[in-house]
């Protein structure tokens, strides 16, 4: 959900004076997050929860003013403006309590529709965390479904397309940085597609959990005022109306275990993407990819020939920064002294920061992937220069034929010839004590056809990742 005028107002802020690059250099790239994690957004989500709770009480207690102004109450939070948020902040300078400021503001603003006795039901029986711990998972849920998850799906989809496009293209593998048994480029990309797909599913399967139960989670005040109502059931229905799950047994705050799991799950996705960035950076360095870039782009301030893989480097840096924040939240948030302390509050205000750096990384990575073109010539030359990788195949077939010392034989051959060419390998094969049929089998091996199942596994497709709408 986007709020009128918010982005335009932020765009007027001087990027040169911003403390954080998310609000400065990269402000335009993360503008959508302000609709979910800015101070204005937090106030508006609180307003939303407060009013919907008031409506629940209105229906439960048959409050005529509330029931007679349902449309106006809904419109109130839908059309909540920056000017109105500024009034909340003005009240907060006196209360020194952000949620109480929202309550006082609502009493002031809704007095046009509701009589004083009904204004008493604003924030009735609640503590601030009933509002915060419902507003925050709602913010995260909406941001995830409309911004974050679609970006991850598009990234995985792009990798899937690239994998399919080069599923049979042979490539020299490198283990420990050394030439190793050949693979295909498509299969190596498929590794990341499958890893990301699995972890994405873990991410979207996690519930967004809320807390709604009064000062210490027991509905003490609610039961004192109206003991005849099933407040647990009422709260369950209320929280579920937002698409959230209510934690039934809590202290004053939601325990944040599911939020910690969310941070861990997103950090795992980011870690896989760091791995991808480093591999692609290395493939570019090897010349397996070249980058299609605009002619005006500058790679180096002094070396005109340079085309740096900056998108993958920027993505890696932002993913690392994002994970630092996500991992801190995952470690800190589930810990609270006794029934409540405030350490969670100041940390949660930064939830948009690691998400912002994640989004910067996803954008850079998508741009980087879109700029890549495969350099088949370099990949072919690289394979042609490393016929020694076939010694694995030769010694394995010799073992099949009963040669117990096959490994040692091929090890000695490879180390006698620092550069193994096709001719040297075939001369060695000709000297072997095996049948001509087996020698022909060995001579048929090349670095281009010795790829095992790689070409087949990378041919798989048909990704259909769930978890929200692809909106931009």
Q: Is residue 125 left, alpha or beta, with left meaning phi > 0 and alpha meaning psi from -120 to 50?
A: left
pLDDT of residue 469: 62
Query: What is the per-residue burial (b if ≥16 Cβ within 10 Å, else e) of 347-363?
Result: ebeebbbbbbbbbbbbb
pLDDT of residue 281: 97
Q: Are residues 367 and 279 in the same domain?
A: yes
Q: Are residues 179 and 307 in the same domain?
A: yes
In a domain, 3, yes or no: no
Q: Are residues 75 and 47 in the same domain?
A: yes
What's the mean pLDDT in 140-161?
A: 97
Task: Report how far residue 428's alpha carbon sits from residue 316's, in angstroms, rounded to the nearest whole number.
Answer: 45
User: Per the residue annotation, which of 20, 241, 285, 300 is the catalytic one?
Assistant: 300
In a domain, 283, yes or no: yes
**Predicted TM-score of the model (pTM):** 0.93
Q: Where are the beta strands (DSSP E) in 185-315?
A: 209-210, 245-246, 289-291
In a domain, 28, yes or no: no
Q: Are residues 345 and 402 in the same domain?
A: no
Residue 463 pLDDT greater than 80, yes or no? no
Task: Provide the pLDDT confidence category of residue 302 given band limits of 50, 70 and 90.
Answer: confident
Cβ contact 245:207 at 8 Å: yes
Q: Are residues 278 and 328 in the same domain?
A: yes
What is the tens place of the pLDDT at every residue in 323-378? 999 999 999 999 999 999 999 999 999 999 999 999 999 999 999 999 999 999 99
Which residues on adjacent β-strands are paired with residue 209?
245
> Among residues 91, 124, 157, which one ends one of the domains?
124
What is the tens place of the pLDDT at every residue in 243-270? 999 999 999 999 999 999 999 999 999 9
Domain at 94, CATH number = 1.10.275.10
What is the DSSP secondary structure assignment for residue 116, as one 8-state letter?
A: H
Q: What is the domain count for the chain?
A: 3
For the chain, the farthest-separated pair of C-alpha atoms sits apart, in whole angstroms, at 102
Q: Are residues 106 and 157 in the same domain?
A: no
Q: Are residues 155 and 85 in the same domain?
A: no
In a domain, 180, yes or no: yes
| Cβ-proximal residues to 49 (8 Å cutoff; 6+ apart), any chain | 131, 134, 135, 138, 242
Which residues on adjacent β-strands are paired with residue 174?
179
Domain at 434, CATH number = 1.10.40.30
Cβ contact 337:271 at 8 Å: no
Task: Provide the pLDDT confidence category of residue 1 given band limits of 50, 70 and 90.
Answer: very low
| Cβ-proximal residues to 430 (8 Å cutoff; 6+ apart), any chain | 439
> Among residues 375, 405, 424, which one ends one of the domains?
375
- Residue range(s) defining the domain that contains residue 316: 140-211+249-375
In a domain, 469, yes or no: no
What is the tens place of the pLDDT at every residue in 234-245? 999 999 999 999
DSSP assignments along 259-291, one per residue: HHHHHHHHHHHHHHHHHHHHHHHHHHHHTSEEE
Q: How far is CA 164 from the centre of its chain?
A: 23
**Is residue 403 annotated as part of the catalytic site, yes or no?**
no
Cβ contact 247:253 at 8 Å: no
What's the mean pLDDT in 289-309?
A: 81
Cβ contact 10:23 at 8 Å: yes
Residue 137 pLDDT greater than 70, yes or no? yes
Residue 95 pLDDT greater than 80, yes or no? yes
Cβ contact 466:185 at 8 Å: no
Query: What is the per-residue burial (b if ≥16 Cβ within 10 Å, else e) of 415-447?
Result: eeeeebeeeebeebbeebeeeeebeebbeebeb
**Is residue 123 annotated as part of the catalytic site, yes or no?**
no
121 by DSSP, 3-state: which?
coil
Residue 300 pLDDT greater than 90, yes or no? no
Task: Report how far residue 174's alpha carbon sits from residue 179's, in angstroms, rounded to the nearest whole number.
Answer: 5
What's the mean pLDDT in 420-445?
A: 97
Q: Are residues 313 and 370 in the same domain?
A: yes
Q: Are residues 312 and 196 in the same domain?
A: yes
What is the sign, positive or negative, of the torsion defined by CA atoms of 44, 47, 49, 55?
negative
Angle formed at CA 341 by CA 133 and CA 248, multiple of 5 degrees: 40
H or E element in which residue 361 lies? helix 352-370
Closest by CA position to 65, among listed 130, 117, 105:
117
In a domain, 198, yes or no: yes
pLDDT of residue 457: 60
Cβ contact 149:360 at 8 Å: no
pLDDT of residue 466: 72
Q: Are residues 256 and 354 in the same domain?
A: yes
In a domain, 232, yes or no: no
Looking at per-residue pLDDT, the higher value among 460 and 116 belongs to 116
Least confident window among 52-61, 181-190, 296-305, 424-433: 296-305
> Among residues 327, 346, 375, which one ends one of the domains?
375
Q: Are residues 368 and 299 in the same domain?
A: yes
What is the DSSP secondary structure assignment for residue 64, as one 8-state letter?
A: H
In a domain, 362, yes or no: yes
pLDDT of residue 362: 98
Q: Are residues 55 and 113 in the same domain?
A: yes
User: Per the residue annotation, which of 176, 301, 305, 431 is the catalytic one?
Assistant: 176
pLDDT of residue 2: 41
Query: What is the per-residue burial (b if ≥16 Cβ within 10 Å, else e) of 85-98?
Result: bebbeebbeeeeeb
Could you tell me what percent of the chain has a pLDDT over 70? 94
Q: Is 225 exposed, middle or buried (0-12, 13-18, 19+ CB in 10 A)?
A: exposed
Domain at 185, CATH number = 1.20.200.10
Cβ contact 362:276 at 8 Å: no
Task: Provide the pLDDT confidence category of residue 10 given band limits of 50, 70 and 90.
Answer: very low
Q: Where are the beta strands (DSSP E) in 115-249?
A: 170-175, 178-184, 209-210, 245-246
Closest by CA position to 214, among listed 203, 226, 206:
226
pLDDT of residue 295: 78
């Amino acid at each position: 959900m986007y709020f009128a005028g918010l982005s335009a107002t932020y765009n007027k802020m001087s990027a040169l004076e911003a403390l954080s690059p998310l609000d400065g250099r990269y402000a335009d790239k993360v503008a959508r997050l302000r609709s979910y994690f800015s101070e204005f957004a937090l106030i508006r989500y609180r307003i939303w929860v407060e009013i919907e709770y008031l409506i629940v009480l209105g229906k439960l207690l048959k409050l005529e003013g509330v029931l007679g102004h349902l449309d106006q109450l809904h419109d109130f939070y839908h059309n909540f403006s920056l000017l109105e948020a500024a009034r909340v902040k003005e009240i907060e300078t006196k209360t020194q309590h952000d949620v109480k400021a929202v309550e006082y503001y609502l009493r002031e603003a809704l007095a046009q529709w509701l009589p004083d006795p009904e204004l008493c039901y604003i924030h009735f029986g609640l503590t601030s965390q009933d509002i915060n711990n419902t507003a925050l998972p709602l913010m995260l849920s909406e941001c995830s479904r409309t911004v974050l998850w679609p970006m991850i799906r598009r990234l995985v989809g792009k990798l899937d397309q690239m994998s399919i496009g080069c599923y049979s293209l042979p490539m020299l593998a490198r283990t420990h940085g050394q030439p190793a048994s050949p693979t295909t480029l498509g299969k190596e990309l498929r590794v990341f597609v499958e890893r990301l797909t699995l972890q994405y599913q873990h991410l979207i399967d996690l519930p967004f959990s809320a807390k709604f139960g009064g000062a210490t989670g027991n509905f003490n005040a609610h039961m004192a005022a109206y003991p005849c109502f099933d407040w647990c059931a009422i709260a369950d229905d209320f929280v579920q109306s937002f698409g959230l799950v209510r934690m039934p047994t809590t202290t004053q705050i939601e325990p944040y275990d599911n939020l910690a799991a969310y941070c861990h799950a997103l950090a795992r996705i980011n870690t896989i993407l760091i791995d991808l960035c480093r591999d692609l950076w290395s493939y570019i360095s090897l010349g397996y990819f070249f980058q299609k870039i605009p002619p005006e782009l500058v790679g180096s301030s002094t070396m005109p020939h340079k085309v740096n893989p900056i998108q993958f480097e920027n993505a890696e840096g932002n993913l690392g920064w994002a994970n630092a924040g996500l991992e801190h939240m995952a470690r800190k948030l589930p810990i609270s002294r006794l029934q409540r302390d405030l350490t969670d509050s100041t940390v949660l205000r930064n939830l948009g920061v690691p998400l912002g750096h994640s989004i910067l990384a996803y954008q850079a990575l998508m741009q980087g992937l879109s700029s890549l073109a495969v350099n088949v010539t370099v990949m072919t030359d690289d394979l042609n220069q490393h016929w020694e990788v076939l010694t694995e195949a030769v010694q394995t077939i010799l073992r099949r034929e009963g040669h117990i010392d096959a490994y040692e034989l091929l090890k000695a051959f490879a180390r006698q010839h620092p550069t193994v060419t096709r001719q040297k390998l075939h001369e060695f094969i000709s000297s072997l004590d095996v049948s001509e049929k087996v020698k022909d089998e060995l001579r048929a091996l090349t670095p281009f056809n010795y790829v095992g199942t790689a070409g087949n596994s990378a041919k798989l497709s048909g990704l259909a990742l769930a978890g929200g709408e692809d909106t931009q």
